[in-house]
């Protein structure tokens, strides 16, 4: 074990570069999958004929597949049908496809947890269907949805490590390169990358706890 050698400035810089890519991928995927997940969740909640069924079927298939398979798919299989994405955007596409499905399920569950009476009450006071959803259902559902949504974001950050398989230069990938040079670096590198992931994820989950208590 060689901690001083492993934690040289060059190596630490390299790890932090990886962390930056991890955070970038996570942030872009969080934003995209939240938007798509919210739309899918709403469509399923509103029970639009055909559309809701289709959305439900797609979501059920995607959230029951391993993310790793979807990453393989966007990087190795899509070029076969003429869609060629860079490593970075393959990873973003895979994360977004998978996490949108997971989030849509959380959002649909949150919306469904609001008693039907709320919708009826909203409609009977003269609000339109859309107004009732926007002003009455969503604000109440949000309270139930925020903690699981943040947990899903934590899962997303952890999941970005899988993109190392398509050689995305994120944290895990860079740490593996460093410890590949010298077996004495293996343990220090595992400690360093474990610590970095842990700090990011723990901070996010603590944030979720804060939101949970301040909402109650």
Partner 1 sequence: MIEILTNYNDVLIEGFINTLIASLIALVISLIIGTLLGIFQVSTNKLLAGIANFYVQLFLNIPLLIIVLFFYVVFPMFFVGVNGFTAGIIGLTIYTSAFIAETVRAGILGVPNGQMEAGLSTGLTYGDTMRYIILPQAIKIVIPPLGNQFINLVKNSSVLAMVAGLDLMYYGDLIASETFNTFDTYIIVALFYLIITLPLTYLMQYVERRLAAND
Q: Which is nearer to partner 1, 80 or 214 (CB)?
A: 80
Q: What CA–CA distance (Å, rounded) separates 24 from 17?
A: 11
Choose among 42, 62, 43: nearest CA to 52.
Answer: 43
Q: Which is nearer to partner 1, 43 or 175 (CB)?
A: 175
When asked if residue 194 is in the footprint of partner 1 (CB under 8 A), the reply is yes
Q: Which is nearer to partner 1, 133 or 175 (CB)?
A: 175
Q: Which is nearer to partner 1, 46 or 57 (CB)?
A: 57
Which 69-88 residues touch partner 1, going by CB under 8 A? 69, 72-73, 76-77, 79-81
When asked if residue 89 is in the footprint of partner 1 (CB under 8 A), the reply is no
Which 169-188 residues touch partner 1, going by CB under 8 A? 172, 176, 179, 183, 186-187
Q: What CA–CA distance (Å, rounded) separates 204 from 188?
A: 24
111 near 142, Cβ under 8 Å? no
Q: Which is nearer to partner 1, 94 or 136 (CB)?
A: 94
* Least gap, CB of 59 to partner 1 (angstroms): 11
When asked if residue 67 is in the footprint of partner 1 (CB under 8 A), the reply is yes
102 near 37, Cβ under 8 Å? yes
157 near 91, Cβ under 8 Å? no
When asked if residue 202 is in the footprint of partner 1 (CB under 8 A), the reply is yes
Q: What CA–CA distance (Å, rounded) separates 166 from 140?
A: 41
DSSP 14-76: HHHHHHHHHHHHHHHHHHHHHHHHHHHHHHHHHT-TTHHHHHHHHHHHHHTS-HHHHHHIIII
The footprint of partner 1 (CB under 8 A) covers: 60-61, 63-69, 72-73, 76-77, 79-81, 154, 158-159, 161-162, 164-165, 172, 176, 179, 183, 186-187, 190, 193-194, 197-198, 201-202, 205
């Amino acid at each position: 074990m060689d901690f001083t050698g492993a934690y040289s400035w060059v190596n630490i810089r390299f790890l932090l570069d990886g962390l930056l890519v991890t955070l970038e991928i996570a942030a872009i995927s969080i934003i995209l999958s939240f938007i798509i997940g919210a739309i899918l969740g709403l469509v399923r909640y509103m029970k639009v004929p055909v559309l809701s069924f289709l959305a439900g079927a797609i979501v059920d298939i995607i959230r029951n597949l391993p993310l790793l398979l979807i990453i393989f798919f966007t990087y190795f299989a899509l070029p076969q049908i003429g869609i060629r994405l860079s490593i970075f955007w393959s990873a973003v596409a895979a994360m977004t496809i998978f996490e949108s499905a997971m989030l849509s399920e959380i959002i649909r569950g949150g919306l469904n947890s609001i008693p039907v009476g709320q919708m009826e009450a909203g409609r009977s006071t003269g609000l339109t269907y859309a107004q009732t959803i926007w002003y009455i259902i969503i604000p109440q559902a949000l309270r139930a949805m925020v903690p699981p949504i943040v947990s899903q974001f934590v899962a997303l950050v952890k999941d970005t490590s899988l993109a190392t398989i398509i050689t995305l230069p994120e944290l895990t990938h860079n740490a593996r390169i460093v410890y590949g040079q010298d077996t004495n670096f293996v343990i220090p590198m595992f400690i360093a990358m474990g610590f970095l992931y842990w700090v990011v994820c723990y901070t996010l989950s603590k944030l979720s706890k804060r939101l949970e208590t301040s909402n109650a």
